[in-house]
Amino acid sequence: MEKLTIETNSPEETLTLAERLAGLLAPGDVLTLEGDLGAGKTSFTKGLAKGLGIKRVVNSPTFTIIKEYKGRLPLYHMDVYRLEGSDEDLGFEEYFHGEGVTVVEWASLIEEQLPENRLAIEIHHRGEQQRQLTFIPYGDRYITLCKELQKNESTDN
Ligand code: ADP
Ligand code: MG
């Protein structure tokens, strides 16, 4: 599978989709999120958190770059927007290979530091409430994950 494209028609649908993906995640998984401001990267992350059983409120870690949440698996939420143009090394490696799941908003800004194997998620604005989510797997693990997500998609809806 090269990629999986799913459209959502409300914030709730995006949340549900992310929640479903969360159920398939394992320690050491890395997801990257791309999309303009307001595309839904943080909304998607909120769904992941919910699906991982995280009770705390997840919001954009604008000033903190990395936030860690405890759930079924730990969630490492990064928003690297502020790192544009800097080559600061915040020890990302440790998170990518940690016990938890890492999700990176604006990941292309730290492209060289990303692991080779990962699930890239691109969110495109299609309308006020419409979003197109494209899941691009890099590596076998993530191809499997996309297939699982697709399976759930066609049976749940
Ligand atoms: P980002 O982190 O990409 O800047 P946010 O998740 O913070 O984006 O904001 C997305 C905004 O778009 C929220 O206000 C959300 O309610 C709204 N929205 C409307 N439709 C959708 C949808 N289908 N999926 C996700 N968010 C949506
Ligand atoms: Mg955000």
Rounded Cα distance between 76 and 86, Å, is 21
Q: What is the mean pLDDT of residues 125-149?
A: 97
pLDDT at 155: 55
- From residue 84, alpha-carbon distances to 87, 108, 145, 150 in Å are 8, 9, 30, 33
Range of the domain at 45: 4-156
Residue 123 has pLDDT above 70, yes or no: yes
Q: What is the mean pLDDT of residues 101-114?
A: 93
Number of folded domains in the chain? 1
pLDDT band at residue 16 using 50, 70 and 90 as cut-offs: very high
- In this structure, which ligand is nearest to the CA of 78? 2
Cα 46 to ligand 1 centroid, rounded to whole Å: 11
pLDDT band at residue 156 using 50, 70 and 90 as cut-offs: low
Tell me the CB-side half-sphere exposure of residue 139, using CA atoms within 13 A.
11
The CATH number assigned to the domain holding 53 equals: 3.40.50.300
Residue 127 has pLDDT above 90, yes or no: yes
Identify the weakest region by mean pLDDT among 9-23, 43-57, 76-90, 97-111: 76-90
On whether the pTM is more than 0.85, the answer is yes
38 in ligand 1 pocket by Cβ < 6 Å? yes
Cα 27 to ligand 2 centroid, rounded to whole Å: 23
- Distance of alpha carbon 20 from the chain centroid: 12
SS (H, E, C) 64-88: CCEEEECCCCCEEEEECHHHCCCCC
Q: Residue 9: CB partners within 8 Å, gap ≥ 6?
A: 129, 130
Q: What is the mean pLDDT of residues 135-157?
A: 88
pLDDT at 60: 78
Tell me the CB-side half-sphere exposure of residue 55, using CA atoms within 13 A.
0
124 in ligand 1 pocket by Cβ < 6 Å? no
